[in-house]
Structure 1
């Protein structure tokens, strides 16, 4: 049963308090990003099977048209985000650093139309909502990019009692969800109601960190008369937005090792995803755009931009005034879990919540690792309750049976252990390596 006392902010054990630097963009209203001359749309923007090309070079395409499709179970359709002409189909740089199959489209800026689906009626049934979410190509917009239609359709024998909307946005610099809660609060609540209907849940929660009090107050005012929707404050702490930690903080339920939120009757959805559900169901709009925060000390004019998918990172930086002086890192995402970019040609995709540019003076210089001093800071910081240093030691020695006993696969890769380590040990690197090796062993059994 959900905790009903909302007076005291909820939280979880562990975590860290990095400089959040939200003030750079939190006061900037969402702007529509001008169209780039060309977009690059990868066919793999989600967890699961990549899409198969549905268009060819030279073909005219419409914004909202399906250009990538598949019959796989874990998959999400890919739509053209613009009107234009297919320039090329082939391997292109992805924000993950790899070359992946993509469709390059020269944009027709004179045509602003969008090919939409037929809006569903107000009394749409759960199966209709789920089908629409799939058809619209929705995935988790918090970064994981898991297909939303699978997430809101629990397997047989499982039921969802509680829907949690994750408005924590605990990653430093990122403010796109904060702005959407302030500017699209009604759409967020309507999207939550649609998800509750789709999964048959009893109640919904919108969880927001205490560094966003204006969003908490606004949404509490909007939901004051709603008996089954609650707005709860959670402590400002990283990684408060990790779904298992959020469930623990609010509902005092522990997702079992190797399990999923549905195992404890919960569903966690991102703010942007929830608003996208409303757009798909009520407006018939497929996922062709999202709000992206362009911020950091290395950006001249930080912004929150409603951006067409496939827009090059270079274009987003240009719209935000360009890079301010010497920079150290350009990151797709935030500084804790994002991916450092080696080229600005990579495109913004469904899971791109931010482009963060850090200057030399806003990031610690990389120091060579030193011997562990057994301070246990990594243990105290770990929100999952793991032993990061021991996992690293076993991984270095190839002791994979022991790694299984240490629950290395439960690591959420938040980076807390590496952040607090005074010896500058690459703990997350070794845990990721451990998880990959354990997956390979599992596949081979």
Structure 2
């Protein structure tokens, strides 16, 4: 059993670095609220895992907190409307992802009313089963806010009866202060969320871990914990030394407990669960207030901004809107980085939106954070190996990644790389090592998906072949048993002297046929039926002759009528000819009279 006290010694993890913190730029002012953007772009997938199924259409008016997707058959995590308004489009939009790809996105035009859905908080967890509580967290869209975005319900479900729940408030990466400000201003709600997570997981102990460069957050937790004696019994605060990347899950476990999570295993396998302070806050809001995850605290920093700080940003807010209200003064070839300088990535479009895993928007000046130089050849100095917190061989991993040797990458435990960027930070050759690792991981995931598809297809084929073979064997066995049953029945009848029913049936058929053949000559020898038949034949012949005479008479009548018609036509034609002849004679006589009159005159 793992047990930690306030005086338990802290341990060290291998490697690590101490880059300039650069946190004072954004952590001097309270968390603010920015004006709402005129359009929110809400990606349908904002977590690790499959997207949910769309449950709204273009033209729908939605309320703040209303689900836009539902988990569906793949058990995905839903996303919700960050404000009330109208869905004006559902189409591809640039994603907040290192790849720069586009993906399905809901375009939400706010109406300014901020009208909430009817929220359904949970007053008493004891009234619900463990499955119902996890379902509530899933429907609220709660995902890990430390960066990975893994669905909280799924992570908690695999960590039942653990020894230790660690609430991670280390936030070790330079520039990022979102968790720092959240702990300063909302320590009580973070403690409440930690209690709820302890109840759900049945964890024996809770440790809140904060880096020693956050004195205000440490003081806020000490005040909250001291005010409740019941909390103090199962929850303690531990301050860890500032060292990057002590906020990594496995590294923090090693610092607090001295235990190492074995390769290819999870912290739950050794009785430990790690959750971010932002996740604990979101759990408290989801259970106590029925609020889904629709906004988060984001660090807005960099010397290219005149008003850096932190803000509650509705999910889906485009980066260019946040920068514009934060006094963005871009320089030539200005970079905008999502995340910190160690693990973040440069975005190609300022239209990408804030999502659940966005903890920082960094707009550095060229002097503040110089752009990467041209990659040079590895000089085999070994500096990357010395600072790797996972005790890997970064140089070897890079060579294997470039050669696409996926088996070699697995043998060298590429999956244990947390992509902290410490190796690239110390590399004198400016090799972007983390980029090679990310690309190799993506290719391995694609390869694994294809292998899974092939395996499923193979299993389906083999299952079908086995079914067909089984059905064939069953038919043959059925026929064999039927034949054996017939033979047994025949043998039994033979022994008992009983007649075979099949032979008896054949004998009856033959007897019936013979009787019919014998009856036919007898019927032919009877005179009366023969006379009746002759009379019937004579009557039929007479009827046929009568019908033939009728037809011939009808044809003769038709011929007579045709001849009469022809005679009539001939008479008419002769009359017409005679009339024409008389007219011609009259015309000739008249012409002759005219000639005679002319001669006499």
Class of the TM-score when normalised by the shorter of the 2 chains: over 0.9
Q: In structure 1, how many angstroms separate the alpha carbons of the residues matched to 2:371 and 2:50?
A: 38
Q: CA deviation at 1:115?
A: 1.4
Determine helix, strand or coil for the equivalent of 1:292: strand
Go from structure 1 to structure 2 and tell me whether the alpha carbon gap of 1:37 and 1:435 turns closer, same or farther (over 3 Å shift): closer
Q: CA deviation at 1:282?
A: 0.4
TM-score by length of 1: 0.94
Tell me if the contact between 2:10 and 2:257 (Cα under 8 Å) persists in the aligned partners. no
Determine helix, strand or coil for the equivalent of 2:337: strand
| Counterpart residue number, 1:286 | 292
| Counterpart residue number, 2:39 | 38
Q: In structure 1, how many angstroms separate the alpha carbons of the residues matched to 2:217 and 2:119?
A: 31
Tell me if the contact between 1:327 and 1:358 (Cα under 8 Å) persists in the aligned partners. no
Tell whether 2:399 aligns with 1:393: yes
TM-score by length of 2: 0.71
Go from structure 1 to structure 2 and tell me whether the alpha carbon gap of 1:85 and 1:421 turns closer, same or farther (over 3 Å shift): same
Q: In structure 1, how many angstroms separate the alpha carbons of the residues matched to 2:96 and 2:448?
A: 28
2:146 to 142, 150, 153: 142
Provide Cα deviations, 1:252-304, integer angstroms capped at 9, x if missing partner: 22111111111111111111111010001001111111111111111111121
Q: In structure 2, how many angstroms separate the alpha carbons of the residues matched to 1:6 and 1:318?
A: 48
Determine helix, strand or coil for the equivalent of 2:90: strand
Determine helix, strand or coil for the equivalent of 2:3: coil
Determine helix, strand or coil for the equivalent of 1:177: helix
| Counterpart residue number, 2:240 | 234
Q: CA deviation at 1:326?
A: 4.9
Q: CA deviation at 1:43?
A: 0.2
Tell whether 2:186 aligns with 1:222: no
1:190 to 186, 189, 192: 192
Stretch moving more, 320-329 or 35-44? 320-329
Tell whether 2:465 aligns with 1:429: no
| Counterpart residue number, 2:382 | 376
Go from structure 1 to structure 2 and tell me whether the alpha carbon gap of 1:411 and 1:74 turns closer, same or farther (over 3 Å shift): farther
| Counterpart residue number, 2:263 | 257
Q: CA deviation at 1:5?
A: 4.8
Q: In structure 1, how many angstroms separate the alpha carbons of the residues matched to 2:11 and 2:331?
A: 40
| Counterpart residue number, 2:305 | 299
Q: CA deviation at 1:171?
A: 1.5
Q: CA deviation at 1:432?
A: 2.6
Tell me if the contact between 2:53 and 2:72 (Cα under 8 Å) persists in the aligned partners. no
Unmatched segments (≥5 aa) in structure 1: none
Determine helix, strand or coil for the equivalent of 1:22: coil
Tell whether 2:214 aligns with 1:212: yes
| Counterpart residue number, 2:102 | 99
Q: CA deviation at 1:7?
A: 7.5
Go from structure 1 to structure 2 and tell me whether the alpha carbon gap of 1:252 and 1:313 turns closer, same or farther (over 3 Å shift): same
Stretch moving more, 261-270 or 189-198? 261-270
1:308 to 295, 310, 314: 314
Tell me if the contact between 2:10 and 2:255 (Cα under 8 Å) persists in the aligned partners. no
Provide Cα deviations, 1:23-42, integer angstroms capped at 9, x if missing partner: 01111101122211110100
| Counterpart residue number, 2:502 | none
Tell whether 2:32 aligns with 1:26: no
Tell whether 2:166 aligns with 1:164: yes
Determine helix, strand or coil for the equivalent of 1:89: strand
Q: In structure 2, how many angstroms separate the alpha carbons of the residues matched to 1:91 and 1:75?
A: 19
| Counterpart residue number, 1:84 | 85
Go from structure 1 to structure 2 and tell me whether the alpha carbon gap of 1:64 and 1:437 turns closer, same or farther (over 3 Å shift): closer
| Counterpart residue number, 2:67 | 66
Tell me if the contact between 2:41 and 2:107 (Cα under 8 Å) persists in the aligned partners. yes
Q: CA deviation at 1:94?
A: 0.9
Determine helix, strand or coil for the equivalent of 2:82: coil
Provide Cα deviations, 1:398-418, integer angstroms capped at 9, x if missing partner: 443333221122111111111
Provide Cα deviations, 1:38-59, integer angstroms capped at 9, x if missing partner: 1010001011111222111111
Q: CA deviation at 1:6?
A: 4.0
Normalized per residue, which structure has more helix? 2
Go from structure 1 to structure 2 and tell me whether the alpha carbon gap of 1:288 and 1:399 turns closer, same or farther (over 3 Å shift): closer
Determine helix, strand or coil for the equivalent of 2:106: strand
Tell me if the contact between 2:88 and 2:107 (Cα under 8 Å) persists in the aligned partners. yes
Provide Cα deviations, 1:371-415, integer angstroms capped at 9, x if missing partner: 322221101110000001011123333443333221122111111
What are the within-5 Å matches in structure 2 for residues 312-331 of structure 1?
Answer: 312-323=318-329, 325-326=331-332, 328-331=334-337
Larger Cα-atom Rg: 2
Determine helix, strand or coil for the equivalent of 1:328: coil
Q: In structure 1, how many angstroms separate the alpha carbons of the residues matched to 2:75 and 2:248?
A: 22
Q: CA deviation at 1:19?
A: 1.4
Q: CA deviation at 1:324?
A: 5.7
Q: In structure 1, how many angstroms separate the alpha carbons of the residues matched to 2:407 and 2:84?
A: 53
Q: CA deviation at 1:72?
A: 3.7
| Counterpart residue number, 2:548 | none
Tell me if the contact between 1:84 and 1:107 (Cα under 8 Å) persists in the aligned partners. yes
Stretch moving more, 416-425 or 113-122? 113-122
Q: In structure 2, how many angstroms separate the alpha carbons of the residues matched to 1:94 and 1:387?
A: 32
Q: In structure 1, how many angstroms separate the alpha carbons of the residues matched to 2:273 and 2:410?
A: 27
State the number of aligned residues. 442
Q: In structure 2, how many angstroms separate the alpha carbons of the residues matched to 1:161 and 1:73?
A: 31
What are the within-5 Å matches in structure 2 for residues 102-141 of structure 1?
Answer: 102-109=105-112, 111-124=113-126, 125=128, 126-141=130-145
Provide Cα deviations, 1:153-174, integer angstroms capped at 9, x if missing partner: 117xx64221111101112111
Q: In structure 2, how many angstroms separate the alpha carbons of the residues matched to 1:435 and 1:325?
A: 34
